[in-house]
Chain A
């Protein structure tokens, strides 16, 4: 009648809010990056990264990233970070006056590169590069909309990909808990979190949710300009004709189902004019063009239906675009993930969290959640009911009240610094959060591929479509189990191919 769970978690009481405990970095072991979660030895992955190598450069097109997070500060390239939310042609996230040394040099370098790469054409790419080539003049007076507080999604993506463990962090010790009431102070701790490739560098490219194709076209041109080894895009873009809102029979009908564009439904609030449609066409061409040089990882979408988000639905064997779906710790496709079956296939799956689902096809419930309602408990006895996977990915979060994890404290850092002027935090939990969805899966895939470059298992000179083919080639597709699943082993097969 009721399902059974074949794992040690089975011993947990049901419906009581009592969840099994797991290591926050469980995914590193499951992915094969580290061999155990006590010693963290990683002879084939982290151990193969030579310290003198060029860092793998990951362009993260997302919200802004909280660059002050102790685990992310060493991973983020501040000099190159750029924002398109506050200015269509972009504005550097960190003002020039706040940069020095190598960061200032990197800034000057990219401006010079833009000037050299700019053509005289009228297209968005050329306009953007010409503007960037004169950034000191054109960005005068502009500033980025990249406040750390509203950087939750990007901060979580960046953490899974490339966070570094942070030491020298102090936690405030409240007086009331110490043996001697006046003995308030601080304890030195560490933030023992690592992304999958803690050797890479991340360049945050922040965009807004505004349905503006030019903004994204410029963002892609920037990722190309800075020679990113891979480009990560975990969002669905509202292209009026390519982002479907539903599936209808194609014409002629026997060719299957095709997505209905938003224009075709007539539901658009502001009808697309010719110029707008041309801008989206240009963006579409830019995706394909960029993917011939840079591997482009796109989240397949969390709609839980057959529709794959745009631009993930551009993935094809002859381009370097990968549509990443989500699979779970118990070896199934995540309930929300695209990629179920024929005609709706994603490129590959990567590890992420699960979510309950209740519909005619999928009946997946959280047996550990606190449920005091007999009606809801009875749902667990239905035919086909199965448990959700408990483990969720843990990643970095904006510290303090903003972000996915909140804080009970009104400020992150204590006013009085600790020993040697070190910052003292009131708590550490808000520095981390649970993160799920095909976004998280995309970050996991990006981390693995980045590590593949860093550890020399993937060759930066290999065309993106060839890397993609090698990662999935010959492996069976199983939309129910979420296969092929990207792990460190998958990259092994590339090396031997």
Chain B
């Protein structure tokens, strides 16, 4: 075949055959080597199906005559990797959570999957991912995030935030008030529910992926916050009363927006076939926008967080690649 075509002889000389979850590669016999014609085996090739079986039979004959054949596990091979779960034994170290002494009141939430409560998933320090993150430092330390809006532009947004503040107290927003409290620290149920899992059903790799992404992004987001030193909404307009205390760091970009969008982006890259992905993105965005309702972020902070998640995605998918692969295996089983 000419340029842009392909070499037909490869298909004639070699063949792949499939049986359940195995695939076999065999050289086919040369001209004249095919001793058995389908009809000689007592089959009459009446339809396409019969023809297909006949040619597979010829391959088997060929394989018997040839010493070279390679077999491999096809598609379901990832089952074997489940063995890796053995590593989980290390979880005994949950005592380490004590390090976060300032958040001590959350210690009660240790039971993941507690019905009615949120999903906290505790992991060991993700040192491998952090190491990769810093190996790739040059690729993320200077992402083209826009500078924050001017004070005048932010001032124009204050009436919107005051309106949200008033509406948050209405009976209709009771659910949102609960969400805001739940979402103060990383809590996974908002991300797991769109995927149809509840934190107690054996999706540990998925949950670890989400926690690792949140932790990696927390660190990166802090750098960008420190770069812009943007104030919180009620520092511009003190009559705004945030529903929750202002976090002790700068406002722009919103780390809740960055982290939640990054979780959605990364999960959707790892398991693009999941029908819950669009809803996962919507929940992630709601978690981010809830911070505007709570009065601790401007809309621009949220938008910058989303943008940062997108800019950081190419680096992040390299940083958490192994965990993404384990996650996709978990869903493909």
Chain A contact residues, CB within 8 Å of chain B: 7-8, 17-26, 29-30, 36-40, 46, 49, 51-52, 55, 63, 74, 85-88, 140-147, 149-150, 152-153, 164-167, 171, 187, 189-194, 198-199, 201, 208-211, 236, 238, 268-270, 329, 368, 392, 394, 401-402, 404-408, 427-430, 432-434
Q: By the criterion CB–CB under 8 Å, are B74 and A432 in contact?
A: yes
CB distance from B189 to the nearest CB of A (A): 13
In this assembly, does B332 line the interface, its C-beta being within 8 Å of a C-beta of chain A?
yes
CB distance from B260 to the nearest CB of A (A): 11
Q: By the criterion CB–CB under 8 Å, are A86 and B279 in contact?
A: no
User: Whole-angstrom distance between the alpha carbons of A88 and B306 in the complex?
Assistant: 11
Give the residues from 17 to 37 in chain B that come closer than 8 angstroms, CB to CB, to chain A.
17-20, 22-23, 25, 28, 34
Once A150-B317, A406-B80 are accepted as A-B contacts, the answer to whether A55 and B4 lie under 8 Å apart by CB is yes
In this assembly, does B65 line the interface, its C-beta being within 8 Å of a C-beta of chain A?
no
B285 CB contact (under 8 Å) in A29, A166, A269, A405: A269
User: Whole-angstrom distance between the alpha carbons of A303 and B58 in the complex?
Assistant: 39
Contact bitstring B277-305, A, C-beta under 8 A = 1, else 0: 11111110110010000000000000000
Q: Kindly report which residue of chain A lies nearest to residue B27, judged by CB atoms.
A: A189
Q: Note all chain A residues with C-beta closer than 8 A to B12.
A: 38-40
Give the residues from 309 to 326 in chain B that come closer than 8 angstroms, CB to CB, to chain A.
310-311, 313-314, 317-318, 321, 324-325
In this assembly, does B328 line the interface, its C-beta being within 8 Å of a C-beta of chain A?
yes
Give the residues from 26 to 66 in chain B that come closer than 8 angstroms, CB to CB, to chain A.
28, 34, 43, 48-53, 55-56, 58-60
CB distance from B108 to the nearest CB of A (A): 28
In this assembly, does B159 line the interface, its C-beta being within 8 Å of a C-beta of chain A?
no
Q: Kindly report which residue of chain A lies nearest to residue B14, judged by CB atoms.
A: A192
User: Whole-angstrom distance between the alpha carbons of A74 and B10 in the complex?
Assistant: 15
Q: 7 A-B pairs, CB-CB below 8 angstroms?
A: A38-B34, A51-B1, A87-B311, A141-B143, A210-B265, A236-B275, A428-B70
**Across the A-B interface, the 7 shortest Cβ-Cβ residue pairs:** A429-B72, A51-B2, A406-B78, A238-B278, A24-B16, A165-B10, A209-B268
Taking residues whose C-beta sits less than 8 angstroms from the other chain, chain B's interface range is 35 or more
Chain B contact residues, CB within 8 Å of chain A: 1-8, 10-20, 22-23, 25, 28, 34, 43, 48-53, 55-56, 58-60, 68, 70-75, 77-78, 80-81, 139, 142-144, 264-265, 268-270, 272-273, 275, 277-283, 285-286, 289, 310-311, 313-314, 317-318, 321, 324-325, 328-329, 332
Q: Kindly report which residue of chain A lies nearest to residue B79, judged by CB atoms.
A: A406
User: Whole-angstrom distance between the alpha carbons of A38 and B17 in the complex?
Assistant: 12
Q: By the criterion CB–CB under 8 Å, are A211 and B278 in contact?
A: yes
**Apart from the given pairs A193-B16, A407-B77, 19 other A-B contacts in the complex at a CB distance below 8 Å:** A7-B49, A8-B43, A18-B20, A20-B19, A23-B16, A37-B51, A38-B58, A86-B311, A141-B142, A165-B11, A189-B14, A190-B13, A192-B16, A198-B6, A199-B6, A236-B275, A269-B285, A404-B75, A429-B23
A167 CB contact (under 8 Å) in B7, B48, B324: B7
Q: By the criterion CB–CB under 8 Å, are A85 and B265 in contact?
A: yes
User: Whole-angstrom distance between the alpha carbons of A434 and B59 in the complex?
Assistant: 20
Q: By the criterion CB–CB under 8 Å, are B269 and A145 in contact?
A: yes
User: Whole-angstrom distance between the alpha carbons of A38 and B332 in the complex?
Assistant: 33
User: Whole-angstrom distance between the alpha carbons of A428 and B139 in the complex?
Assistant: 33
Once A20-B19, A21-B18, A38-B34 are accepted as A-B contacts, the answer to whether A211 and B282 lie under 8 Å apart by CB is yes
Q: By the criterion CB–CB under 8 Å, are A22 and B77 in contact?
A: no
Q: Note all chain B residues with C-beta closer than 8 A to A7.
A: 49
Q: Kindly report which residue of chain B lies nearest to residue A41, judged by CB atoms.
A: B8
Q: By the criterion CB–CB under 8 Å, are B2 and A52 in contact?
A: yes
Q: By the criterion CB–CB under 8 Å, are B5 and A198 in contact?
A: yes
Q: Kindly report which residue of chain A lies nearest to residue B50, judged by CB atoms.
A: A8
Q: Kindly report which residue of chain B lies nearest to residue A236, judged by CB atoms.
A: B275
A23 CB contact (under 8 Å) in B1, B52, B143, B329: B52
Q: Note all chain B residues with C-beta closer than 8 A to A26.
A: 52
Q: By the criterion CB–CB under 8 Å, are B311 and A394 in contact?
A: no
User: Whole-angstrom distance between the alpha carbons of A165 and B275 in the complex?
Assistant: 33
Q: By the criterion CB–CB under 8 Å, are A85 and B74 in contact?
A: no
Q: Kindly report which residue of chain A lies nearest to residue B48, judged by CB atoms.
A: A30
Q: By the criterion CB–CB under 8 Å, are A405 and B25 in contact?
A: no
Q: By the criterion CB–CB under 8 Å, are B4 and A150 in contact?
A: no
Once A193-B16, A210-B264, A210-B268 are accepted as A-B contacts, the answer to whether A142 and B311 lie under 8 Å apart by CB is yes
Q: By the criterion CB–CB under 8 Å, are B17 and A23 in contact?
A: yes
CB distance from B216 to the nearest CB of A (A): 15
Q: By the criterion CB–CB under 8 Å, are B68 and A167 in contact?
A: no
Q: By the criterion CB–CB under 8 Å, are B268 and A394 in contact?
A: no
Total A-B Cβ pairs within 8 A: 238
Q: By the criterion CB–CB under 8 Å, are A433 and B311 in contact?
A: no
Q: By the criterion CB–CB under 8 Å, are A51 and B5 in contact?
A: yes
Q: By the criterion CB–CB under 8 Å, are A36 and B281 in contact?
A: no
Q: By the criterion CB–CB under 8 Å, are A268 and B282 in contact?
A: yes
CB distance from B167 to the nearest CB of A (A): 13
Once A150-B270, A210-B265 are accepted as A-B contacts, the answer to whether A269 and B17 lie under 8 Å apart by CB is no
Kindly name the residue among A24, A39, A392 whose own CB sees the greatest number of chain B CB atoms within 10 A: A24
User: Whole-angstrom distance between the alpha carbons of A52 and B5 in the complex?
Assistant: 10
User: Whole-angstrom distance between the alpha carbons of A434 and B22 in the complex?
Assistant: 10
Once A147-B321, A430-B72 are accepted as A-B contacts, the answer to whether A192 and B11 lie under 8 Å apart by CB is yes
User: Whole-angstrom distance between the alpha carbons of A88 and B314 in the complex?
Assistant: 14
Q: By the criterion CB–CB under 8 Å, are A429 and B73 in contact?
A: yes
Once A187-B68, A210-B265 are accepted as A-B contacts, the answer to whether A147 and B317 lie under 8 Å apart by CB is yes
CB distance from B193 to the nearest CB of A (A): 10
Q: Kindly report which residue of chain B lies nearest to residue A210, judged by CB atoms.
A: B281
User: Whole-angstrom distance between the alpha carbons of A37 and B16 in the complex?
Assistant: 11
Q: Note all chain A residues with C-beta closer than 8 A to B55.
A: 23, 29, 36-38
Q: Kindly report which residue of chain A lies nearest to residue B194, judged by CB atoms.
A: A269
Q: By the criterion CB–CB under 8 Å, are A88 and B4 in contact?
A: no
Q: By the criterion CB–CB under 8 Å, are B4 and A153 in contact?
A: no
Q: Kindly report which residue of chain B lies nearest to residue A75, judged by CB atoms.
A: B6
Q: By the criterion CB–CB under 8 Å, are B70 and A171 in contact?
A: yes
Q: By the criterion CB–CB under 8 Å, are A141 and B144 in contact?
A: yes
User: Whole-angstrom distance between the alpha carbons of A164 and B53 in the complex?
Assistant: 24
CB distance from A153 to the nearest CB of B (A): 5
User: Whole-angstrom distance between the alpha carbons of A378 and B98 in the complex?
Assistant: 54
Q: By the criterion CB–CB under 8 Å, are B52 and A167 in contact?
A: no
Q: Note all chain B residues with C-beta closer than 8 A to A171.
A: 70
Q: By the criterion CB–CB under 8 Å, are A150 and B77 in contact?
A: no
Once A23-B52, A51-B2, A429-B74 are accepted as A-B contacts, the answer to whether A269 and B325 lie under 8 Å apart by CB is no
Q: Kindly report which residue of chain B lies nearest to residue A27, judged by CB atoms.
A: B52
Once A85-B313, A141-B143 are accepted as A-B contacts, the answer to whether A209 and B70 lie under 8 Å apart by CB is no
User: Whole-angstrom distance between the alpha carbons of A88 and B265 in the complex?
Assistant: 13
Q: Note all chain B residues with C-beta closer than 8 A to A25.
A: 11, 16
Q: Kindly report which residue of chain B lies nearest to residue A171, judged by CB atoms.
A: B70
Q: Note all chain A residues with C-beta closer than 8 A to B49.
A: 7-8, 329
Q: By the criterion CB–CB under 8 Å, are B25 and A189 in contact?
A: yes
A19 CB contact (under 8 Å) in B11, B19, B142: B19
Once A402-B328, A408-B80 are accepted as A-B contacts, the answer to whether A269 and B282 lie under 8 Å apart by CB is yes
Q: Note all chain A residues with C-beta closer than 8 A to B265.
A: 85, 145, 208, 210
Q: Note all chain A residues with C-beta closer than 8 A to B278.
A: 209, 211, 238
Q: Note all chain A residues with C-beta closer than 8 A to B73.
A: 405-406, 408, 429
User: Whole-angstrom distance between the alpha carbons of A190 and B317 in the complex?
Assistant: 32
Q: Note all chain B residues with C-beta closer than 8 A to A238.
A: 278-279
Kindly name the residue among A19, A63, A146, A269 whose own CB sees the greatest number of chain B CB atoms within 10 A: A269
